Structure 1
Amino acid sequence: MGLTEYECPACGGIMNFDAKSQLLACPYCDTKIKVSDYVAPRKEEQDKDAKADSNEWMQEGNEWQPGETEGMVVYSCQSCGGEIVASENEGSLTCPFCSNNVVVKEKFSGDLRPDYVIPFKKNKQDAMNAYAGYVKGKLLLPSVFYAENHIDKIRGIYIPYWLYDATVDGDYSFSATKVRTWSDSDYNYTETSHYGVERSGSESFANVPHDASKEMPDDLMESIEPFNFSEAVPFNGGYLAGFLANRYDIKAEDTKAHIVERMKNTVETDIRNTVDGYSTVNITSKQQNVRNLRHKYALYPVWLLNTSWNGKNYLFAMNGQSGKFVGNLPVSKKKATILYLLSTIGFTLLSIFICLLIINN
Structure 2
Amino acid sequence: MGLTEYECPACGGVMNFDTKNQMLSCPFCDTKIKVQDYVAPRQEEQDKDAKADSNEWLSEGTEWKPGETDGMVVYSCQSCGGEIVASENEGSLTCPFCSNNVVVKEKFSGDLRPDYVIPFKKDKQDAMDAYSGYVKGKFLLPKVFFEQNHIDKIRGIYIPYWLYDGKINASYRYNATKVRTWSDSDYNYTETSFFEVDRAGSESFSHVPHDASKEMPDDLMESIEPFDFKEAVPFNSGYLAGFLANRYDINAEETKTHILDRMKHTVENDIRNTVTGYSTVNIASKDQTIGSLSHQYALYPVWLLNTSWNGNNYLFAMNGQNGKFVGNLPVDKVKAFFLYILSALGFTALAVIVCLIIISM
Instruction: Tell me the TM-score normalised to structure 1 length.
Output: 0.97
1:63 aligns with 2:64: yes
* 1:5 aligned residue: 5
Could you tell me how far 1:65 is from its partner in structure 2? 4.5
Equivalent residue for 1:247? 247
In 1: Cα distance, 2:323 partner to 2:30 partner = 26
Does 1:235 pair with 2:198?
Answer: no
Shift of 1:52: 3.9
Hey, what's the Cα distance between the residues in 2 that align with 1:57 and 1:297? 32
* 1:353 Cα offset (Å): 3.0
Task: Note the C-alpha offset of 1:106.
Answer: 0.3
For residues 158 and 53 of structure 1, the distance between their equivalents in structure 2, rounded to whole angstroms, comes to 23
In structure 2, the partner of 1:132 is 132
Report the CA distance between 1:262 and its aligned residue. Answer: 0.6
CA deviations on 1:110-130 (whole Å, 9 max, x unpaired) are 000000000000000000000
Aligned counterpart, 1:276: 276
Moved more, 341-350 or 194-203: 341-350
**Which amino acid is the alignment partner of residue 231 of structure 1?**
E
Give the direction of change, closer, same or farther, for the CA distance of 1:61–1:159 in structure 2 (3 Å limit). Answer: closer
Change (3 A) 1:277 1:49: farther
Alpha carbons of 1:231 and 1:335: their partners in 2 closer, same or farther (altered >3 Å)? same
CA-based RMSD of the aligned residues comes to 1.3
| CA offsets 1:56-94 (integer angstroms, 9 cap, x no match) | 64464623243x322111111111111111000000000
3-state SS of the aligned residue for 1:64?
Answer: coil
Q: 5+ residue gaps in structure 2? A: none
2 CA distance for matches of 1:259 and 1:311? Answer: 35
Of 349-358 and 318-327, the range deviating more from structure 2: 349-358
Structure 2 CA distance for aligned equivalents of residues 255 and 166 of structure 1: 14
Give the superposition deviation at 1:336.
Answer: 0.2
Distance of 1:167 and 1:273 partners within structure 2: 19
1:96 matched to 2:111: no
Partner SS state of residue 48, structure 2:
coil
Match of 1:325 in 2: 325
With normalisation by structure 2, the TM-score equals 0.97
In the aligned structure 1, how far is the partner of 2:164 from the partner of 2:188?
Answer: 55
Distance of aligned partners of 1:18 and 1:61 in 2 relative to their CA distance in 1, 3 Å threshold: closer
User: Hey, what's the Cα distance between the residues in 2 that align with 1:108 and 1:159?
Assistant: 13
**Letter of the structure 1 residue corresponding to residue 244 of structure 2:** L
Q: d(CA) in 1 for partners of 2:202 and 2:54?
A: 56
Aligned to 1:209: 209
Q: In the TM superposition, what is the alpha-carbon distance from 1:146 to its structure 2 partner?
A: 0.2
SS at match of 2:203: strand
Shift of residue 183 of structure 1?
A: 1.5
Matched residue of 1:48: which SS? helix
Query: Which residue type is aligned with residue 337 of structure 1?
Result: F
Match of 2:42 in 1: 42
Whole-angstrom CA distance in 2 between matches of 1:276 and 1:173:
14
Q: CA deviation at 1:49?
A: 4.9
Structure 2: which amino acid aligns with 1:84? I
| Residue 151 of structure 2 corresponds to residue 171 of structure 1 | no
Residues of 1 paired with 2:87 and 2:80: CA distance?
21
Matched with 1:304 is 304
Offset of 1:356 from its aligned partner?
3.3
State the match for 2:109 in structure 1. 109
Higher deviation after alignment, 287-296 or 342-351: 342-351
Identity rate, percent = 78
In 2, distance between residues paired with 1:307 and 1:129? 16
CA distance in 1, matches of 2:291, 2:356: 73
Q: For the structure 1 residues 166 and 42, does the alpha-carbon distance in structure 2 shift closer, same or farther, using more than 3 Å as the test?
A: same
- In structure 2, C-alpha distance between the alignment counterparts of 1:12 and 1:344, rounded to whole Å: 67
Q: What is the rounded CA distance, in whole Å, between the counterparts of 2:284 and 2:360 in structure 1?
A: 65
**Paired residue for 2:334?**
334
Conserved in 1, the CA contact under 8 Å of 2:54 and 2:72? no
- In the alignment, the residues of structure 1 paired with residue 54 and residue 201 of structure 2 have an alpha-carbon distance, to the nearest angstrom, of 59
Tell me, in whole angstroms, the C-alpha distance in 2 between the residues paired with 1:122 and 1:180. Answer: 56
Render the CA deviation track for 1:173-221: whole Å, top value 9, x for unaligned: 1110001111122211111100011101111100000000000000000
Residue segments in structure 1 that go unaligned for 5+ positions in a row:
none
